[in-house]
A and B are shown apart, each in its own frame.
Chain A
Amino acid sequence: MNRFLRNILIASLCIVAVHIILGIFANGSTDNFYLRFTSSKQNSLIIGTSRSAQGIHPDILDSVLNLKDNNSIYNYSFSINNSSYGKEYYNAIENKINESVTNGLFIITIDPWAISSDSTLHDNEIDINSILYSKKYYNSYPNYEYLIKNYKKGWGNILLKRIESNILFRNQNSLNKIKGSFTFLRKDGLLEVYTSMDSAYVKQNTQNKVHSYNISMSRNKFSKFRFLYLKKTIQLLKKHGEVYLVRMPVHTSLLTIENSFYPLFDKKMINLANNTHVAYLNFVNSSTQYSYTDGNHLYIEDAKRYSIKLAERIKNSQRLVEP
C-alpha cells in the first residue's frame, strides 16, 4: 500500500508541478479574457462588451489624450455574455480600480443589449454563467484561479497557443492572409482579432450575427436590474475621475435591430447622462464610415480610426468643461 500511495503521490505532484509551470506561460494567446485577470489595478478603464474590447485601442487614447504611465487607460471590456452591466461586472470593476485614484478617465460603452437580459431569468440567475462569476482574484499573475475555473482545455494547450501566436506574429503576411480568424489579447486589454475581410466571408458573418441578434430580440427584454447596475457603475467610476457614456458605431443592419428592440434607447441614455452628470457620446450616426468583421465588431484598422475620433471627441468635451 505504501508503495502504491508513494507512486501515486509522486505522479500527482509531477502533474501539479507541470501545471504550475504551464500556468506561467499563459498570455494573450491563451484565451480572450485571461490577461484581464492578471493586470494590476488601474487608474483609467474602458468598460463594455466585445464591441469596445475589439473596437477601442487604449494606446491611441493614451497618445491623443496624453495619458501617461500610471494614468494610461486599460481596456476592461469582455463580451455580452460576461460583462453586460450587473453585479458581477460591477464587482470586477470595483476590484480593478486603484482605490486612491480621483483623476482617472472612464469610458463606459453602452448598447441596448448590455442593459437587457433573458426575459425568463430572475435577477439572481443573471450572470451565473459569466466568466466573472464568483471570482476572488482579479489582479494576480499568474492567475491560477482563473485557469482552474475557466480554462477548459489541457494546460499544455497554453504552450501550443503561445507557439502558434509567435509563429503568426513573426510572419505578418500569414496574419493578413488568414482564413477564419485568430485572436490575441494585448497587455493593455485590447482584443486583436485578425480575420479574413473577404466580402463573401464578412457578408456571411454579418448574416449570422443578424440572425443571432434577431433571436436575442425575441428572447430578451430591457432589464431594470442591468440598468440599475449601469447607474451604479457610473456612480462608482465618478468617484475616481471623469466618466463618458459612449455608444459605438455598428453596422446598419444591426442598428436597425437595436432600434426596433429598444426605440427609446438614446433618450434613456441622454436622461441617464443628465441625471448622473456625465457626457453621452453617440457615434451611431457615423456607423457607415467604418467596416466591420461581422456587423457587430469594428475591423482592427477601422477600430484605430474610430479610437482617434473617440479620443478627439473626449478631448473636445474636456475642453468645453474646462473652467
Chain B
Amino acid sequence: MLFNSIEFAIFLPSIFIIYWFVTKTIKQQNILILLSSYLFYGWWDWRFLSLIFFSTIIDFLIGKSLEKNEKPLTRKHLLWISILINIGFLGFFKYYNFFIDNFIYSFSTLGIELSYQSLQIILPVGISFYTFQTLSYTIDVYKRKLKPTTDFITFAAFVSFFPQLVAGPIERATNLLPQFKKNRKFDYNKATDGMRQILWGFFKKIVIADNCAVFANQIFNNYSDYSGSTLVLGAVFFAFQIYGDFSGYSDIAIGTARLFGFNLMQNFAFPYFSRDIAEFWRRWHISLSTWFRDYIYIPLGGSRGTNYLKIRNVFIIFLLSGFWHGSNWTFIIWGGLNAMYFLPIMLLNKNRINTNIVAQGKYLPSMKEVFSMSLTFSLTTLAWVFFRAEDIHHAISYLSNIIHPSTLTFPELITPKLEMIYTLLCIFILLFIEWINRDKTHGLDIASYKKNIRWILYFIIILMTITFGSFNQNSFIYFQF
C-alpha cells in the first residue's frame, strides 16, 4: 500500500479510530498494529509476508536464546545464525543475479563462456529496511545493550510497524521496542505535529518529487539531445526528486507513527544546507548512516588507528552503503565517490567542524556559508548522476556531455514549459520554508508560530499540493532498495 494512494487514505483513519476508540490495552493495540502492518504490507504482495514472519520468528527465538546462554562461543554462533539468515534472504533476493551476472562476465573476459540464465527474482519491498532493523535487535541483545522481549506480539509489531516498514527510518530496537511496551495515551500536540509532518511529507512527495521526476526522467533518458546547462538542471531536478521522495516518505512515516503515540528517529535534517560532505552525511538518511556507523564503522575501528585503517574503514562504509542501495555498479561508484569527498576532510580532521545549525540565529547565511553549501550541493548532485543513471556508461556519457561550451548557456525549457517553471518555483518555496525551520525537527515544525500564521501556511501548502501536485500514485524510489 502506498502512502499516496486512496487505499491508504481509507486505511489510516480506520486504524486510527479503532486504535484509540476500540482497543483498551497495550496488548490489544499491539495486536492491531501487527495485523494492520501485515495488511499494509500484504496489500503489495501477500506472499512475502512469510519472509517477514520467518525473520521475526528467527530473531525472536535467537534473542531469547542469547539471553539464556552465557557461553561466549554459543552466543557468537547464535548471532551469526541470525546474521546469515537475514543477510542470506537479502543476498538472495537483492544480489543473487548481480553476483551471478558479474561472475559469468568475469569468466567471459577470460575467454571462458559459462551458460546460465538469470533468475526472475522479485525484490520484496522494503527488505533492506526491515532486515537491518531486525539485525539491530539481535546485535544489541548480543552486546547486552538491550534485554530481549519475551512477548512475541510486541516483537512482531516492532519488526513490521507499518509506518516505517518499507522505507524506514530504520529504527533501533533500543528506541522503538520499549515504546511498544509503554502505555500510550493520545497527545493532542504530538498528533497535531504528526499531521503537520504528514502534510509536509506529502508536499515533498507529490509536489516536489513527482514533478521533478518528469523533467529528470526526460533529461536523463534523452541526455544526448540537450545542452550541458540543461543536463546540469536535469541533475538538480533529480537531486530534489530523490530528496522530496525519500525525506517525504520519512516525514509521512514519522508523522503517522506520532498519530499512534510513537516517536521515530529523525531521518533527514535539511541535508542540502550542509556546509561540507561530513555534515551532509550526518543529515541525510540518518538512520542508515548511524546504523553503519554503530554496527560496522566503529567495530572496524572507526577513525582511530593509522591513516591506512581510516581510509579502509571509510571506503568500506561508503561502498557498503552504495551496495545496500542496489545491485548495480552505479550505486557502488556513487558510494566510492562520496568516500572520496569525505576522505580529505576526515584526514585533515575537519569532519566535525560544522556540527551546529548553519547561520544560527540569523536570517541569511554569510557568503562563506553560501559558497560552502553550494559546493557541497554541487558535489552531491554530481554523485547523484551515478545514482540515477541506468549504468556506468550512461552516467559517464551524461557527465561528459556536461563538459561542453553549451553548459555556459541558459538551460532549455522542457515541455510542458509552464509545469517546469512552477516546479522550479515550488523547489524555491520548499527551500525557503525549510531554511526558516532549519533548526527544527522537520520542515513544518511550526507549533511555536502564531495560530493565524500556522493556518495561512497550511492553506498555502494545501493549495499548492492541490494545484501543482501529481496524483499518479507514483511509487517511492526507496521502495526498490
Binding site for B on A (CB under 8 A): 1, 3-4, 7-8, 11, 15, 18-19, 22, 151-157, 159-160, 164, 180
Contact = CB atoms under 8 A, between A and B. Distances in A.
B466 A180 contact: no
Nearest to B188: A4
A156 B468 contact: yes
B195 interface: yes
Nearest to B472: A152
A156 B465 CA distance: 8
A225 to B, nearest CB: 28
B462 A15 contact: yes
Contacts of B191: 4
A156 B416 CA distance: 17
A164 B20 CA distance: 47
* SS of B interface (majority): helix
Contact of A4 (B192, B415, B466, B470): B192
A272 B336 CA distance: 65
B169 interface: no
Contacts of A154: 206, 465-471
Contacts of B188: 1, 3-4
Given A154-B471, A156-B467, 12 more contacts: A1-B186, A8-B195, A15-B466, A22-B466, A152-B471, A152-B472, A154-B465, A154-B467, A154-B468, A154-B470, A157-B467, A180-B417
Interface residues of B, number: 22
A129 to B, nearest CB: 13
12 contacts: A4-B188, A4-B191, A4-B192, A15-B462, A153-B469, A153-B470, A153-B471, A154-B465, A154-B469, A156-B467, A157-B467, A180-B415
Interface string B175-216: 000000000001010011001000000000010000000000
B466 A18 contact: yes
Contacts of B416: 180
A1 B467 contact: no
A190 to B, nearest CB: 22
Contact of B418 (A8, A155, A159, A164): A164
Interface centre among A15, A22, A153, A160 (most CB of B within 10 A): A153
Nearest to B469: A154
A42 to B, nearest CB: 31
A105 to B, nearest CB: 37
Contacts of B417: 180
B447 interface: no
Interface in B441-481: 458, 462-463, 465-472
A4 B186 CA distance: 10
Contacts of B462: 11, 15
A156 B206 CA distance: 14
A47 to B, nearest CB: 29
Interface in B20-46: 20
B155 to A, nearest CB: 29
A13 to B, nearest CB: 13
A157 B468 CA distance: 6
Contacts of B418: 160, 164
A11 B186 CA distance: 20
Contacts of A18: 466
B20 A155 contact: no
Interface centre among A1, A154, A157 (most CB of B within 10 A): A154
B301 to A, nearest CB: 49
Contact of B466 (A3, A7, A152, A156): A156
A63 B274 CA distance: 68
A180 B419 CA distance: 14
B162 to A, nearest CB: 20
Contacts of A180: 415-417
A301 B290 CA distance: 64
A278 to B, nearest CB: 41
Nearest to A159: B467
B472 A19 contact: no
Contacts of A160: 418, 467
A34 to B, nearest CB: 15
A142 to B, nearest CB: 16
Given A1-B186, A4-B192, A155 B470 contact: no
Contacts of A8: 195
